[in-house]
């Protein structure tokens, strides 16, 4: 089984095999920021990427270094085991995990690490994410995952939730989150003003 090693200067995850070191994830390149990743975004398939890009965008917004990996609980169990069981030693602080259908990836990862695991149920199958959601929230006592909403809102919130965890030890991120909440409030005020304008003079 390959041995995950600490990230090199480009901060993409690297994998060390008996033949030497090679890059584990191409997708991590270019998305990682200029310091060692502290958040890992995992997904069961590259088909999850369009939605999970939303989580990456949030982490970029808050300048939180992250890495992205595709690994599957069912299709690549050994690789998933390796990633999760070495995550702490490689400096990660939070894991965001997306999977669809019989969504076991977040639970399996949570079983293998004491890092907080934030799960995003994907709307992948004809069941539209209800299957993923139920798989995610029905973890047995002792192995928690933080279940977000299905698909895009869940991916956005996973990014914010990860930032909130990082903010407990990073005052810069805490301030950015405060600013973000103020901005949300400002946008609602704007929407309220637009709605009122639209109905100005029409109500009794």
Among residues 65, 33, 89, which one has the least CA distance to residue 162? 65
Give residues 114-133 in contact with ligand RP5 (rule: CB under 6 A). Answer: 122, 124
Q: Which is nearer to ligand RP5, 47 or 63 (CB)?
A: 47
Phi, psi of 134 (to 5 degrees): -65, -40
Among residues 55, 158, 155, 43, which one has the least CA distance to residue 105? 43
Return the range that interacts with ligand RP5 (CB under 6 A); candidates 4-12, 42-50, 60-68, 146-154.
42-50
Q: Which of 65, 100, 107, 159 binds ligand RP5 (CB under 6 A)?
A: 100
- Length of the chain as a residue count: 204
In the DSSP assignment, the letter for residue 41 is E
Contacts with ligand RP5, 60-89, as mask; x by CB under 6 A = ------------x-----------------
> Counting contacts by CB under 6 A, is residue 44 touching ligand RP5?
yes
Distance in angstroms (rounded) separating the CA atoms of residues 132 and 104: 8
Q: Which is nearer to ligand RP5, 65 or 101 (CB)?
A: 101
């Amino acid at each position: 089984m390959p041995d995950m090693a600490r990230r090199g200067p480009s901060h993409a995850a690297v994998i060390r095999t008996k033949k030497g070191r090679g890059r584990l994830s191409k997708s991590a390149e270019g998305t990682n920021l200029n310091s060692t990743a502290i958040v890992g975004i995992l997904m069961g398939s590259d088909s999850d990427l369009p939605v999970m890009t939303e989580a990456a965008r949030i982490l970029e917004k808050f300048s939180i270094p992250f890495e992205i990996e595709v690994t599957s609980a069912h299709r690549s169990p050994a690789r998933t085991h390796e990633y999760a069981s070495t995550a702490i030693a490689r400096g990660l602080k939070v894991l965001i995990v997306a999977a669809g259908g019989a969504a076991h990836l977040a639970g399996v990862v949570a079983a293998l690490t004491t890092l907080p695991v934030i799960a995003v149920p994907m709307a992948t199958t004809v069941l539209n994410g209800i299957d993923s959601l139920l798989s995610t929230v029905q973890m047995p006592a002792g192995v928690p995952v933080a279940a977000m909403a299905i698909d895009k809102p869940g991916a956005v919130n996973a990014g914010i939730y990860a930032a909130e965890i990082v903010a407990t030890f990073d005052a810069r991120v805490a301030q950015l989150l405060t600013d973000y909440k103020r901005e949300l409030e400002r946008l609602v005020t704007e929407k309220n003003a637009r709605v009122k304008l639209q109905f100005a003079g029409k109500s009794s």
